[in-house]
Each structure stands twice: as structure tokens, then as C-alpha cells.
């Protein structure tokens, strides 16, 4: 069942992700357009893995664990535990890679950064927040944050970001990084690390997804300021290092769980650093196997539509699937309980990419980028 689910997952990604431009044999980079430096394929692959982890976590906690499983085996709990073990990896790695890609952008003039990054991400956040609010109103049983009043919507637009908080965070992070770009890395990284530790320890009020804003700034800034070191780490990744970093991550998780240290000051950021080291190594090694690395990299270059579309898609699927699955007998549930999260994750990602294609083909590309001024389009 799991092998079939994994094969289906890979097929969905290969079929629906946009085809990349041809690259020279042996190339480890992907084209980034005329006049731009090539994108490192390992970084795109890491982003692809991260968006899969984001969607799969939401599938597990917002759909899979909401099903009434009446089985004599703890498979649902095992899926939940697995998802929790990946929490120190998915968003810290996502923001680290975003920081790596931001290095050149923050060097541009303010007006360019404001439009191409800050205003763009704020626009996308606001536009999709309104869409999410409307769609989630039709799925009241779906367990996720949503605005149910004008004041709640205003709060999500300003101080308590919604499930789309990654976009909100990027806008703030770009403004912060641009403002402090001339400072020494340590001057910005140390306070950001302290903020992450304070937030992870529960010493700050973090309603909604505000905690994610506080905890992940340091990883974005690390990707931005430590890009040469991160790229060198990826370029020199070995099988031995992959084993060592995987072992270190597993050990850190075990110690953190065994001692109940999740809320100890500084523990969560340190475990996340180990997780990012493992994630970069794994992505770099994976890209040496084109059959695995290239589909992930292709998906990694289209994370935005998956990120903004997957939650309402999952909410609607939950309304269709949860009750029938809960009504199955033990024999029927036993057929799907193991591979269901993998299959549903693949379905949600595939539908998100298909919806994106349909919207852009129908002229709704303004849902995925800041509309240009007519004067600029005619120039």
C-alpha cells in the first residue's frame, strides 16, 4: 500500500509540475532566466521537500487524525508522532532556503525590494486570506484558524497572521533584512536567535501563528548572511555526513522528547539548526539521483501555488472524505489507514497545481503575483 502510494506521489509531481528548461549534462543548477545566476537544484529540491512536509502535516492533523478510526492498532498515532518529529525541520529549512534565494534581492534599490518582495508578499497574503476566509466559511467543521468576524479578519491581516503566515513573514523579513543589510551578520543573527529561543520557550504571547514569525527570522537571516557557507556545505555533502546529520537529528529529537525539553530556553532553535544541516545535506545528496531530485526541484520552483491553494482544497476534501471514512468498518479502514496520508497529500498537491494551471490559463495570474501597472506593461 505504502509503496503504491509513494509511486503515485512521485507520478503526480512529475506530471503536474512545470517542465524545467534543459540543462547541460551533469548540471546541478537550474535555469533562472536571462541575466540571472542559475538556481542551485539542491535548494529547489529542499523547497519541494518542505512544501510536501507542510501539506502532509496539515493532512495529518486537520484531516487524518480527525477521522474516527476504530482499529486495534495505533497507526494514526504513529503518523501524528512522525509529523511532530519533522516540525523542527520543515519551516526552519523552508526559511533558510528562502534566505539563500534572497541574497541578491536585498542588494537591489529600496523601490525594487518594496515592489518585488515586500508589497508582493503582502498583496498575496491579503488576497489569499480573503479567499481562504470565504472558502473556510463553507467548511465550518474543518479544524483550522479562520476569521469569523470583521475584527478577526483585521487581526489576521495585521497582528495575528493566519495559515498563510509564511507570506506575511517573508514581507516582514525582507523589510528587516534590507534595513539592516550593512550590519555585520552577528549583529542581526544573535538577537534573532535570542528572539527565536524566547518564543520557543513560551516566554512571549504568540496567538495564532505569531510564534512562527518570531522563531524563524533567524533562519531566514542565516540563509541570507551565511549563503556561501551553506552552499559549500551542500556542495561537499557526502553519504557519511548524511548519516551523521540524520543520526544527530534523531538523537536530538530523542533527548528533547525524553527530557521534555521542548520548552527549555534555546533547545528548539538548536534542534532546528541540526535539522537544517540534515535537510541541506539530504537535498544535496538527493539531487545526485536525478530520478528523485529533479521532480522535487521542479515542485520546489512552484511552491507558491501549492502553499496558497492547498488549505481550502484540503478543507473541501475533508468534508467529502471524513464522514465516509469514519463510517467504514475495521476491515475497510485497515485497507486505507497506512497509506491514506500519503495518497491524500499527493492528491492535494496535484489538485493545487491543477487549479493553479487552470487559473493562470483563464487570466487569473494576478492571484499569484502583484499586478503590474499598465504603463510598465506597455513599456
- Tell me: the pLDDT tens digits for 249-284? 999 999 999 999 999 999 999 999 999 999 999 999
The full DSSP string for 59-109 is: HHHHTGGGS----SS-HHHHHHHHHHHTHHHHHHHHHHHHHHHHTTGGGS-
Number of domains, the chain? 1
Is the pLDDT confidence value at 245 over 60? yes
pLDDT (0 to 100) of residue 112: 96
Provide the 3-class DSSP secondary structure of residue 304.
helix
Is the pLDDT confidence value at 35 over 90? no
- Tell me: the pLDDT tens digits for 182-199? 999 999 999 999 999 999
pLDDT (0 to 100) of residue 72: 84
Of the pLDDT bands very low, low, confident and very high (cuts 50, 70, 90), residue 38 is low
- Tell me: the pLDDT tens digits for 39-73? 789 999 999 999 999 999 999 999 999 999 999 88
Query: What's the chain's average pLDDT?
Result: 90
> What is the mean pLDDT of the segment spanning 285-302?
96
201 within a domain of the structure (yes/no): yes
Is the pLDDT confidence value at 21 over 70? no
344 within a domain of the structure (yes/no): yes
280 within a domain of the structure (yes/no): yes
267 within a domain of the structure (yes/no): yes
In this prediction the pTM is 0.88
185 within a domain of the structure (yes/no): yes
pLDDT (0 to 100) of residue 140: 93
Question: Of 20-24, 247-251, 297-301, 364-368, which gets the smallest average pLDDT?
Answer: 20-24
CA distance 304 to 6: 23
Identify the domain containing residue 103 by its residue range: 64-326+335-355
Which residues lie closer than 8 Å to 337 by C-beta, 6 or more apart? 69, 71, 73, 75, 76
94 within a domain of the structure (yes/no): yes
pLDDT (0 to 100) of residue 373: 62
Best CA proximity match to 174, nearest among 221, 243, 215: 221
Of the pLDDT bands very low, low, confident and very high (cuts 50, 70, 90), residue 153 is very high
Of the pLDDT bands very low, low, confident and very high (cuts 50, 70, 90), residue 23 is very low
Q: What percent of the chain has pLDDT above 70? A: 88
* Positive or negative torsion for Cα 321, 50, 277, 298: positive
Is the pLDDT confidence value at 7 over 70? no
99 within a domain of the structure (yes/no): yes
348 within a domain of the structure (yes/no): yes
Amino acid at each position: 500500500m505504502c509503496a503504491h502510494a509513494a509511486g503515485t506521489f512521485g507520478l503526480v509531481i512529475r506530471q503536474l509540475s512545470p517542465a524545467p528548461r534543459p540543462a547541460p549534462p551533469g548540471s546541478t543548477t537550474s535555469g533562472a532566466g536571462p541575466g540571472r545566476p542559475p538556481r542551485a537544484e539542491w535548494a529547489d529540491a529542499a523547497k519541494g521537500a518542505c512544501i510536501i512536509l507542510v501539506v502532509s502535516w496539515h493532512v495529518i492533523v486537520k484531516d487524518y487524525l480527525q477521522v474516527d478510526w476504530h482499529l486495534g492498532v495505533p497507526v494514526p498515532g504513529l503518523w501524528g508522532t512522525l509529523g511532530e518529529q519533522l516540525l523542527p525541520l520543515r519551516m526552519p529549512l523552508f526559511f533558510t532556503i528562502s534566505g539563500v534565494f534572497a541574497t541578491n534581492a536585498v542588494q537591489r534599490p529600496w523601490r525594487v525590494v518594496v515592489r518585488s518582495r515586500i508589497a508582493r508578499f503582502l498583496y498575496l497574503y491579503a488576497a489569499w486570506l480573503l479567499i481562504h476566509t470565504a472558502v473556510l466559511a463553507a467548511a465550518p467543521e474543518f479544524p483550522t484558524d479562520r476569521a469569523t468576524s470583521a475584527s478577526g479578519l483585521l487581526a489576521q491581516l495585521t497582528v495575528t497572521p493566519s495559515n498563510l503566515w509564511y507570506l506575511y513573514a517573508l514581507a516582514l523579513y525582507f523589510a528587516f533584512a534590507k534595513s539592516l543589510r550593512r550590519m555585520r551578520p552577528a549583529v542581526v543573527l544573535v538577537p534573532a536567535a535570542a528572539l527565536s529561543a524566547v518564543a520557543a520557550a513560551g516566554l512571549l504571547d504568540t496567538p495564532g501563528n505569531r510564534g512562527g514569525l518570531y522563531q524563524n527570522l533567524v533562519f531566514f537571516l542565516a540563509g541570507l548572511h551565511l549563503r556561501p557557507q551553506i552552499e559549500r556545505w551542500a556542495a561537499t555533502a557526502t553519504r557519511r555526513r548524511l548519516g551523521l546529520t540524520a543520526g544527530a537529528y534523531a538523537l536530538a529529537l530523542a533527548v528533547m522528547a525524553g527530557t521534555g525539553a521542548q520548552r527549555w530556553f534555546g533547545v528548539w532553535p538548536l534542534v532546528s539548526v541540526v535539522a537544517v544541516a540534515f535537510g541541506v545535506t539530504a537535498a544535496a545528496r538527493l539531487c545526485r539521483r536525478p530520478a528523485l531530485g529533479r521532480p522535487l526541484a521542479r515542485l520546489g520552483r512552484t511552491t507558491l501555488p501549492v502553499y496558497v491553494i492547498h488549505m481550502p482544497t484540503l478543507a473541501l476534501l475533508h468534508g467529502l472524505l471524513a464522514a465516509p471514512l469514519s463510517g467504514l468498518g475495521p476491515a475497510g479502514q485497515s485497507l486505507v489507514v497506512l497509506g491514506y496520508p500519503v495518497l491524500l497529500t499527493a492528491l492535494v498537491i496535484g489538485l493545487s497545481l491543477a487549479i493553479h494551471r487552470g487559473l493562470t490559463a483563464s487570466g487569473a495570474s494576478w492571484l499569484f503575483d502583484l499586478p503590474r501597472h499598465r504603463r510598465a506593461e506597455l513599456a
